[in-house]
Amino acid sequence: MRLIIVSGFSGSGKSIALDTLEDCGYYCIDNLPAPLIEPFLQQAIASQSSAFEKIAIGIDARNQSANLTGFPEIVDTARRLGVDCRILFLQAEPETLLKRFSETRRKHPLTDASVPLAEAIELERRVLEPVLSRADLNIDTTYTTVHQLRELVRQRLGIPSGRLMSLCLQSFGFKHGVPMDTDFVFDARCLPNPHWTASLRPKTGKDPEVVEFLTESADVHDYLDHLTAFLERWIPCFLAENRSYLNVAIGCTGGQHRSVYLVEALAQRLRSDRYNLLIRHRELPESPADTALKR
């Protein structure tokens, strides 16, 4: 069992660190009272559940100071139980913490009618000293962005990213409405329409006859080339921002021919091991198993 205790100053990014660990498969608990760590670990070990193989627990100044005084002994007990325990402590310069609280208008957990924010930040440093003194890893978030902090947490803890962005290519018909869950919408109604050829009308953009009809058009070739170039240019930027999902929708009038063809052709061009590629044809009946492309 691996346990990561995430602690640090309020406003330093503890919630982001816990969210990152949860995305990496950790069972996360925020603000667990320190005396409950040992009984929780004993119960987790006894359960022999795979859900508790990787655990992250958030400990901060919301704990009573008396509880944190005994923190070193709690860590030693966890290690005697055979738990691989590491402590990650996040901190930032006081001026940065003051600025963050003033911008978000959140209440510092140690402020009250008699304790202003600046004093609460200094008090928190003293309260968390037992945790800081045992920290295995320290991260200063004074100059880091959210995305940089996520990457730092993974790097410092030796956790591979593991999570791939899901790129969904979807065809649809404008006459049925534009999908709401979409990042980019492209309109293919300017392209030659197989609907006006009687023999092609009942078919779809997956059928060879429709594919042949559309591939004979220079405009269709140009449209597909330009769309491919656009996405190949900007997909890496979304990957760099640690996006979980990117949805691209291509529409034609009815969602049967042009948009279906373009999604299928685009999917062949964009296959990559950098992301999970999914295709969906909203106006065509198909099973969910047919919508995922293996990497």
pLDDT tens digits, 183-193: 999 999 999 99
| Mean pLDDT across 37-62 | 93
Looking at residue 40, its pLDDT comes to: 95
Please indicate, yes or no, if residue 295 is contained in any of the structural domains. Answer: no
For residue range 139-183, what is the model confidence (pLDDT) as tens digits?
A: 999 988 888 898 889 888 887 765 678 899 999 999 999 998 899
Averaged confidence pLDDT in the chain: 90
- 197-217 tens-digit pLDDT: 999 999 999 999 999 999 999
Which residue among 156, 173, 196 closes a domain? 156
Domain edge (last residue) among 99, 129, 156: 156
| Same-domain pairing of 21 and 139 | yes
pLDDT per position as a tens digit, 41-50: 999 999 999 9
170 and 143 share one domain: no
Residues 148 and 264 in one domain: no
In a domain, 109, yes or no: yes
| Together in a domain, 142 and 180 | no
Domain contains 283? yes
Q: Do residues 121 and 169 share a domain?
A: no
Domains held by the chain: number: 2
For 259-293, how does the pLDDT look when each residue is reduced to its tens digit (9 = 90+)?
Answer: 999 999 999 999 887 888 999 999 998 644 444 44
- Both 36 and 138 in one domain: the answer is yes
Q: Do 174 and 281 sit in the same domain of this protein?
A: yes
Instruction: Give the CATH number for residue 25.
Output: 3.40.50.300
Task: Yes or no: say if 44 and 55 are a contact pair by the CB < 8 Å rule.
Answer: yes
Q: Give the pLDDT score at 161.
A: 62
pLDDT at 257: 97
Mind listing the pLDDT tens digit for each residue in 82-115?
999 999 999 999 999 998 888 877 788 888 888 8
The residue among 156, 175, 195 that closes a domain is 156
| Structure confidence at residue 287 (pLDDT) | 41
The reply to whether 206 falls in a domain is yes
pLDDT band for 234, please (50, 70, 90 cuts). Answer: very high
70 and 179 inside one domain: no
Confirm whether 196 is domain-assigned.
yes
* Proportion of the chain above pLDDT 90, given as a percent: 66
Mean pLDDT value across residues 12-35: 92
**Over 50: is that where the pLDDT of 69 sits?**
yes
Instruction: Please give the model's pTM, rounded to 2 decimal places.
Output: 0.62
Range of the domain at 169: 165-290
